[in-house]
Amino acid sequence: MRYQLKGKVVLITGAAGGIGAATARHVYGLGADLVLTDRQSADVQALASEFDADRVLPIALDVTDARATRAVVDQAVQKFGRLDVALANAGIAWKEGLSTVASCDEDEFEHILEVNLLGVWRTIRAALPEVMRNQGQILITSSIYAFLNGMANAPYAASKAAVESLGRTLRTELAGTGATASVVYPGWTATAIAEIAFGGDELATRLNQTALPALLRRPVSPEQVARGIAQGIQTRRPRIVVPARWQPVFGLRGLFNPLVDRYLDGHSGIHELLRQVEAEAGRNVRRLIPRAAKNDSADHSERTK
């Protein structure tokens, strides 16, 4: 039977971003009430202003804060009396350009994992009792990076592979309860995160053009991903791969991945671009060290006063 969104309450983290906002608009149009969260209150309030105030609850939220995430679920139940669907969508990537494992800023690497993996875990943990009570759904935004080589984007790729595994695990654990879990795999999408690979950064753009065939490089709109998510919710689809051209790669990744890795390992042009990424990232990190050392000194001075 088709899962009807009319009258259901849907929580979306990272709601002010491209995919989050487009999904909010789409499921609202299908009759859902919305709980919208993002880091900045102004961003989520601006999105909420598009909807009937009686059908939306906008809340600023840092998904790395477990207590605050639980409080969001409590507020949702207080306003609407229930929570049916939670889309754990909040995610971040490198702030400036690409970086390799050898050259990246360690704190930024760990922060990306904190948001993209542990933020998803905390969202699931907070929402799950209500979702199970209402035989609803958990959706996790992973990425094609869950099965692509994550060169120069390791923490993002690692986090997306990890949340894919988390979503698959959760679906099996929920089997027989009436509740379900799904994993969303957007391809290249025209959002702020993807801009870097489409002209926003020269090295990232060249890597993208060198590593992928033209067919797989074309970005899709957030609205296309949102339609896929909404359809996936309505049919409780376990895997939502958007656009469809990525589905053969997903289905045959056990075959493709070793071949792709071998191709990249032997591609001298890729090697040269990665060395350039490493050099540029190293310069960025070195620029931050004096400032960080100065801040550490100031912190120490404050503590000893």
Kindly list the catalytic residues. Answer: 156
d(CA 109, CA 105): 6
* C-beta of residue 264 within 8 angstroms of C-beta of residue 211: yes
DSSP tag of 88: E
Q: Taking the CB of residue 39, how many other CB atoms lie within 10 A of it?
A: 16
Q: Please give the angle made by the CA atoms of 206, 207 and 212, to the nearest 5 degrees.
A: 105
- d(CA 287, CA 280) in angstroms, rounded, equals 11
Helix (H, G, I), strand (E, B) or coil at 271: helix
In the block, residue with structure tokens 């289905």? 251
- Beta carbons of 90 and 11 less than 8 angstroms apart: no
How far apart, in whole angstroms, are the C-alpha atoms of residue 83 and residue 71? 13
CA distances from 126 to 37, 76, 92, 114, 139 (A): 14, 12, 21, 16, 13
Q: Which residues pair with 58 in a beta bridge?
A: 36
Tell me the pairing of strands 9-12 and 33-38. Answer: parallel
Give the integer Cα–Cα distance in Å for 7 and 212.
Answer: 42
Torsion (CA) 7, 37, 153, 142 in degrees, nearest 10: -20
**DSSP 3-state of 189:** strand
